[in-house]
Structure 1
Amino acid sequence: MFTKTFEFEWTKPPLSLNYRMHRMQEAKIVKEVRTLMHASARHMPDLGRCEVRLVWFVKDRRRRDDENPVSTLKALCDGLVDAEVVPDDTHEYMVKHMPEIRYVPGCTPHFEFTVTEIP
């Protein structure tokens, strides 16, 4: 079974359900995240089906809504489709878990996106 974890040095989600930005600005960021994921995953094998997890590592206990990084998760999943790792990001090909926010004292805030093949 194939598993790959990608690490991103974002200290906060590049896209969030709480951000209020112009649609063109949001589209630019979506494209950047998709392109980054595509470039990172282009050497992965075709998995057919996979499950994905996004974990945001934070160094403090401030309140954060678990669903805010969902927009970032969506763009990363679209990047996997762009890289032809899976045919589509529908449930038939990809199981998406709710993003997780994990407190790790003293860590450098970052994101980890894990892709695991489903047989």
Structure 2
Amino acid sequence: MPSLPEPPDLSATIAALPGAGRSWTLLMPYGELLSSNDRLHHMAEYRTKKRLRQEAELTTRARRLPRLERAAVYYVLHPRPVQRKRDPGNWAPSAKAYVDGLVDAGLLPDDHSAHLAGPYPEMGPPVPTGGARMSLVVVEIVKKGL
């Protein structure tokens, strides 16, 4: 069984966030991801977005994460093991669908800027086999002095 990809160490980035609190890493299942470079039929894109959203909702519910008022989300791309450079920002459509799933699970009240910072792209190590994969790092942001 292949080992699971570990997200990069984001501790310095998280520590720099004003009001950073607890954090959780959610490794999303293998499956086709959406890229801003894709040229899919609108129904194929819709089905993939729906699947990604459901995966994030189910993963969040299974982990029983607490309801947060505000959070920062980092999406970490774990690419296929190929020898070319990757731009993790190209996978923003997948991250958007995953964030919608976090909202569906009740982790956040909504995905507008009053409740969400990000999602911010990060590059992780490649997966050992198969297709690309994504991790979400959710960081609670607690209000201080309000």
Please give the range of the TM-score, normalised by the shorter of the 2 chains. Answer: 0.7 to 0.9
**SS of the residue aligned with 2:99?**
helix
Relative to the length of structure 2, the TM-score reads 0.71
Relative to the length of structure 1, the TM-score reads 0.85
Runs of 4+ in 1 over 4 A off after TM superposition: none
For structure 1, the 5+ residue unaligned runs are none
Tell me if the contact between 2:102 and 2:108 (Cα under 8 Å) persists in the aligned partners. Answer: yes
Q: Deviations over 1:74-94 (max 9, x none)?
A: 001100110111111111101
> Structure 1 vs Structure 2: percent identity of aligned residues?
31
- State the structure with more CA Rg: 2
Matched positions, count: 116
**SS of the residue aligned with 1:47?**
coil
Could you tell me how far apart the structure 2 residues matched to 1:55 and 1:75 are? 14
1:64 aligns with 86
- Does residue 4 (structure 1) correspond to residue 24 (structure 2)? The answer is yes
Tell me if the contact between 2:28 and 2:56 (Cα under 8 Å) persists in the aligned partners. Answer: no
Could you tell me how far apart the structure 1 residues matched to 2:78 and 2:133 are? 5
For structure 2, the 5+ residue unaligned runs are 1-20
Q: CA RMSD in A?
A: 1.9
- Does residue 110 (structure 1) correspond to residue 129 (structure 2)? The answer is no
